[in-house]
């Protein structure tokens, strides 16, 4: 292990340069025009893993973007097997004009590496590739068996991964899985994620007339789909910040007082969030702390409203149609399929009869809660302590990692969510970055983790 740590110290420039090559590939999974980039990113990873000596390297097709698989299974029959998950797809980059550097040109400023995907998730998945490289290039051995599963659809809801895991459950069989796709509190305070929220992503379509109308001629007699849409969307929250869809909270698991107390030991406070975001004031469901609001309570957000005119200047149009993208973050034990159905029924119920309404489900993912007493998690806590000099805190993550519940359910393996991102890394936003000291400390922590978990 010492040799592996030394390797990382001595090869930082090479490791960073290789990550930058991967980052330059604009692998945006949601856009058809980036299909070739997606294939290129998968191929790059497969080549890299082959060059390290991993075996069974394979770009496995799915109904969507492929999964890159590779393994190294020579640690001995009694050594545990660790499944390493990461995703090589990234979010779109708009609004482009808010980027201070080209989004797919990795740019280093001080300790920060700016690029789309820098932390979510190419940089964090590369932590594990570099850790594996450090062992194999020095000792030629790993302290445990490793399987890589790198997907290309995380940013579009891991559409094919559930079927993939189900189909390849023997191949993927492992004693634990590790995912580095989350963030810690600050460069000194590591976090083990104790749960993730689920998600349903919906799109609501309304049509009010055959085609666009002039607001002078028809304003006041033919309803404007944008007027109707804002009314429907606004009604989805009450004045306590609660979602008004009937049945939405029916299966929400309330925390025990002990769980609440543990969760609220987090250093996250209204003040830290205000400082991180620059928001004038916070918002949220009455009766819950900020840690609870974003960790254990479900939420609903409008992500975009299409229709009419948003260019410079003015156009007095009543658009024929409008649509809105809306997602809901879900918590145990909300069932995404059921919430999607409740949402759809509710939208139809409350929409005015002036509109033809259609609702589509774009993505669904289940929430998951981790058993923090599992040995795989305890080993991660120790690894963090060695890598960062401090024991991690346990947090419920507000984001969604569909793979967690898939691995829990299908492979029956504990999932270690060991992240190295920071809250201000601008995930899904312009100027995404990765804090480079976290990158190197992450590789060292991963090396420690393989070592500690391997010895069990």
- For its own copies, the binding residues in 15-74 under the rule CB under 8 A are 30-32
Closer Cβ to its own copies, 352 or 375, answer by number: 352
Check residue 244 for interaction with its own copies (CB under 8 A).
no
Evaluate whether 339 touches 331 at the Cβ level (below 8 Å).
Answer: no
Rule CB under 8 A: say whether 332 interacts with its own copies.
Answer: no
Tokens 């000194």 locate to 188
Whether 59 contacts 70, CB under 8 Å = no
Q: Quick one: 97 or 170, whose CB is closer to its own copies?
A: 97
**Nearest distance, CB of residue 181 and its own copies, angstroms:** 11
Q: Does 136 bind its own copies (CB under 8 A)?
A: no
* Shortest distance (Å) from residue 307 CB to its own copies: 7
In the bound state with its own copies, the residue whose beta carbon lies nearer, of 157 and 392, is: 157
* Pair type for strands 191-196 and 368-369: antiparallel
Any contact of residue 117 with its own copies (CB under 8 A)? no
Q: How far is the CB of 330 from its own copies (least distance, A)?
A: 11
| Interface of this chain with its own copies, residues 291 to 320, rule: CB under 8 A | 293-294, 297, 299-320
43 and 88 in contact (C-beta within 8 Å)? no
Site for its own copies in 221-240 (CB under 8 A): 221-224, 226-227, 229-231, 233-235, 237
| DSSP for residue 143 | S
Taking CB under 8 A as the criterion, which residues in 250-269 touch its own copies? none
Residues 386-415 that bind its own copies (CB under 8 A): 397-400
Which of 106, 298 has the CB closer to its own copies?
298
Per-residue string for binding with its own copies, 349-378, x by CB under 8 A?
---xxxxx-----xx---------------
Candidate ranges 17-25, 71-79, 204-212, 338-346; the one touching its own copies (CB under 8 A): 204-212
Single residue of 199, 379, 415, 417 touching its own copies by CB under 8 A: 199
Cis amide bond preceding 333, omega within 30:
yes
Q: How far apart are CA 235 and CA 12, in angstroms?
A: 53
Q: Which one of 78, 216, 254, 373 is in contact with its own copies (CB under 8 A)?
A: 216
* Buried/exposed code over 251-274 (b: 16+ C-beta within 10 A; e: otherwise): eeeebeeebeeebeebebeeeebe
C-alpha to C-alpha distance for 24 and 440, rounded to whole angstroms: 20
Q: Classify residue 345 by burial, with Cβ atoms within 10 Å: 0-12, 13-18, 19+.
A: middle
Tokens 């774009």 identify what position? Answer: 362
List Cβ neighbours of 350 (8 Å cut-off, separation of 6 or more): 232, 235
Q: Give the relative orientation of helices 12-23 and 2-10 as an angle to the nearest 10 degrees.
A: 70
Smallest distance, Å, CB 63 to its own copies? Answer: 15
What residues from 427 to 456 belong to the interface with its own copies (CB under 8 A)?
427-431
Residues 232/205, Cβ–Cβ less than 8 Å: no
With contacts defined by CB under 8 A, name the span among 169-177, 207-215, 372-380, 437-445 that binds its own copies: 207-215
For its own copies, the closer CB: 147 or 346: 346
* CB 196, CB 404: distance < 8 Å: yes
In the complex with its own copies, the residue whose CB is nearer, 56 or 315, is 315
Closer by beta carbon to its own copies, 113 or else 130: 113
Quick one: which of 396, 130, 89 has its CA closest to 263? 396
List 27, 91, 344, 438, residue binding its own copies (CB under 8 A): 91
Beta partners for residue 146, in sequence order: 72, 82
Instruction: Collapse the DSSP code of 263 into the 3-class scheme (helix H, G, I; strand E, B; otherwise coil) and give the result.
Output: helix
Q: With respect to its own copies, which residue has the nearer C-beta, 365 or 443?
A: 365
CB of 377 within 8 A of CB of 179? no
Q: Which residues, in sequence order, are bridge partners of residue 214?
A: 317
274: its two tokens: 């205000």
Closest distance of CB 48 from its own copies, Å: 28
Instruction: Tell the smallest beta-carbon distance from residue 244 to its own copies (Å).
Output: 12
């Amino acid at each position: 292990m010492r040799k592996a740590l030394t390797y990382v110290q001595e090869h930082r420039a090479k490791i960073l340069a290789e990550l930058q090559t991967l980052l330059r590939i604009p692998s945006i999974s949601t856009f058809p025009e980036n299909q070739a980039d997606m294939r290129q990113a998968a191929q790059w990873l497969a080549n890299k893993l082959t060059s390290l000596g991993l075996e069974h390297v394979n770009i496995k097709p799915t109904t969507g973007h492929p999964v890159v698989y590779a393994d190294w299974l020579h640690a001995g029959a009694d050594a545990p097997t660790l499944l390493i998950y990461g995703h090589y797809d990234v979010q779109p980059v708009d609004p482009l004009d808010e980027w201070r550097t080209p989004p797919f040109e990795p740019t280093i400023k001080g300790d920060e590496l700016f690029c789309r995907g820098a932390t979510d998730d190419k940089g964090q998945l590369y932590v594990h590739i570099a850790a594996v490289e450090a062992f194999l290039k020095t000792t030629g051995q790993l302290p445990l068996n490793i399987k890589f599963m790198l997907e290309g659809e995380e940013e579009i809801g891991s559409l094919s991964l559930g079927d993939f895991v189900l189909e390849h459950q023997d191949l993927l069989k492992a004693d634990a899985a590790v995912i580095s796709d989350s963030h810690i509190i600050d460069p000194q305070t590591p976090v083990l994620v104790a749960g993730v929220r689920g998600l349903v992503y919906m799109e609501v379509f309304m049509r009010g007339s055959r085609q666009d109308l002039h607001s002078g001629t028809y304003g006041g007699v033919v309803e404007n789909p944008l007027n109707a849409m804002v009314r429907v969307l606004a009604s989805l929250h009450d004045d306590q910040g609660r979602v008004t869809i009937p049945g939405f909270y029916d299966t929400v698991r309330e925390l025990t007082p002990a769980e609440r107390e543990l969760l609220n030991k987090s250093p996250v406070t209204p003040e830290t969030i205000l400082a991180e975001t620059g928001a004038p004031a916070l918002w949220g469901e009455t009766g819950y702390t900020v840690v609870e609001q974003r960790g254990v309570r479900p939420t609903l957000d409008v992500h975009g409203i299409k229709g009419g005119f948003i260019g410079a200047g003015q156009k007095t149009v009543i658009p024929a149609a409008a649509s809105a993208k809306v997602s809901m973050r879900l918590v145990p034990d909300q069932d995404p399929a059921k919430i999607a159905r409740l949402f759809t029924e509710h939208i139809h119920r409350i929409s005015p009869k002036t509109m033809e309404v259609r609702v589509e489900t774009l993505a669904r993912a289940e929430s998951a809660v981790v058993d923090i007493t599992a040995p795989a998690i305890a080993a991660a806590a120790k690894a963090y302590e060695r890598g960062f000099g401090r024991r991690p805190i346990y947090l419920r993550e507000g984001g969604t990692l569909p793979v967690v519940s898939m691995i829990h359910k299908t492979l029956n393996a504990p999932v270690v969510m060991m992240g190295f991102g920071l809250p201000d890394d601008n995930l899904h936003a312009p100027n995404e970055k990765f804090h480079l000291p976290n990158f190197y400390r992450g590789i060292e922590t991963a090396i420690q983790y393989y070592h500690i978990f391997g010895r069990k």
